[in-house]
Amino acid sequence: MSRVIAIANQKGGVGKTTTSINLAASFAASGVPTLLVDCDPQSNSTSGLGLVKDAERPGTYQLLMGDAEAADLLQPTELEHLKIIPSSKHLIGANVELVNAEFREYRLRHALHTIRDQFEVIVLDCPPALDLLTLNALVAADSVLVPMQAEYFALEGVSELLDTIERIRQTLNPSLFVEGVVLTMFDDRTNLAQGVSSELKAFFGELLYEASIPRNVRLAEAPSHGKPALLYDPRSRGAEAYTRLAVEVLNRIRNRATTSQEVSTTQSSTTESGTTESSSTQPTAPPSEVQQ
């Protein structure tokens, strides 16, 4: 079963794109069929995976506007199991052009519906805003992975995102949940980082991944070579940290899938019903998918 994960935090520069590229690459390197959808007009995931920024090449903008089929937009990358739907600066226009469109928040979800089953994981790299692009990603997603920097007021910054996720759960995507929270650009030698890290652990509990991503110059250099860190410098601390994170994320997804299968088997053999996490792993079809 495929899993759509939005990498979101409305704060700029916290490592959303670095996490999208390197997590997707780590999944793919372990043989998991993976798609990265660049939902940001800055197109940093696109260039970071080695595609030149080309405003004429169709991508996420055409997908949202209904001008192209997702299957026709898939671009190969250096990794056999990793495809990308690129973005371009035109995507910024979608925020305005879709304002009066019907089911405007469901555009991405509907557009990805036809190719979902080709991938085990679909990663959505979101822009640094709670705009219509991020909203489309959060409605298309099964879950949200939040990259955060260990800094004072980090929790204040993320509370707006958590409120937004809750609002979306109550309206547009009832099955959305927080996949996990990852500390980025982490420097565990400072008291500040350790203090903030334990505060976040107390707040998020199990949702905070064991793997944190260190500040590592290889991670910052790799995009200018159009490569994920595991191809640019596989032995760097950054590449290794993202590999560990990918294992944790996949284990959680697979454990959840097993639990949900067990629950559905139990439920089909008894009339008992209960609220379990599995109920939030089944995406609810938007109106536009109902006829399919």
Ligand X SMILES: Nc1ncnc2c1ncn2[C@@H]1O[C@H](COP(=O)(O)OP(=O)(O)OP(=O)(O)O)[C@@H](O)[C@H]1O
**Chain positions contacting Mg ion, by CB under 5 A:** 16-17, 44
Of the two residues 17 and 136, which places its CB atom closer to ligand X in the complex? Answer: 17
Q: How far is the CB of 124 from ligand X (least distance, A)?
A: 12
Q: Is 17 in the site for ligand X (CB under 6 A)?
A: yes
Q: Which stretch binds ligand X (CB under 6 A): 14-22, 68-76, 101-109, 137-145?
A: 14-22
Among 171, 220, 279, 289, binds ligand X (CB under 6 A): 220
Q: How far is the CB of 181 from ligand X (least distance, A)?
A: 14
Judged by CB under 6 A, the chain residues 81 through 140 that form the site for ligand X are 128
Judged by CB under 6 A, the chain residues 257 through 286 that form the site for ligand X are none
Q: Is 59 in the site for ligand X (CB under 6 A)?
A: no
Q: How far is the CB of 147 from ligand X (least distance, A)?
A: 7
Q: Is 215 in the site for ligand X (CB under 6 A)?
A: yes
Q: Is 40 in the site for ligand X (CB under 6 A)?
A: yes
Among 3, 8, 15, 79, binds ligand X (CB under 6 A): 15
Contact, 121 vs 32, CB < 8 A?
Answer: yes
Q: Which residues pair with 82 in a beta bridge?
A: 34
In SS3 terms, the chain reads as CCEEEEECCCCCCCCHHHHHHHHHHHHHHCCCCEEEEECCCCCHHHHHCCCCCCCCCCCHHHHHHCCCCHHHHCEECCCCCEEEECCCCCHHHHHHHCCCCCCHHHHHHHHHCCCHHHCCEEEEECCCCCCHHHHHHHHHCCEEEEEEECCCCHHHHHHHHHHHHHHHHHCCCCCCEEEEEEEECECCCCHHHHHHHHHHHHHHHHHECCCCCECCHHHHHHHHHCCCHHHHCCCCHHHHHHHHHHHHHHHHHHHHHHHHHHHHHHHHHCCCCCCCHHHHCCCCCCHHHCCC
Of the two residues 40 and 105, which places its CB atom closer to ligand X in the complex? Answer: 40
Contact, 74 vs 83, CB < 8 A?
Answer: yes
- d(C-alpha 27, C-alpha 247), whole Å: 8
Q: Which stretch binds ligand X (CB under 6 A): 25-33, 37-45, 57-65, 269-277?
A: 37-45
| Partner from ligand X, Mg ion, none binding residue 185, C-beta < 5-8 Å depending on class | ligand X
Q: How far is the CB of 21 from ligand X (least distance, A)?
A: 8
Q: Is 149 in the site for ligand X (CB under 6 A)?
A: no
| Partner from ligand X, Mg ion, none binding residue 184, C-beta < 5-8 Å depending on class | ligand X
Q: Is 185 in the site for ligand X (CB under 6 A)?
A: yes
Burial 24-43 (b: 16+ CB within 10 A, else e): bbbbbbeebbbbbbbbbbbb
- Tokens in use for 12? 């700029």
Of the two residues 53 and 201, which places its CB atom closer to Mg ion in the complex? Answer: 53
Among 5, 6, 8, 18, binds ligand X (CB under 6 A): 18
Count of positions on this chain that bind ligand X (CB under 6 A): 19
Q: Is 238 in the site for ligand X (CB under 6 A)?
A: yes
Q: For binding to ligand X (CB under 6 A), which residues are involved?
A: 12-18, 40, 42, 44, 128, 184-185, 213, 215-216, 219-220, 238
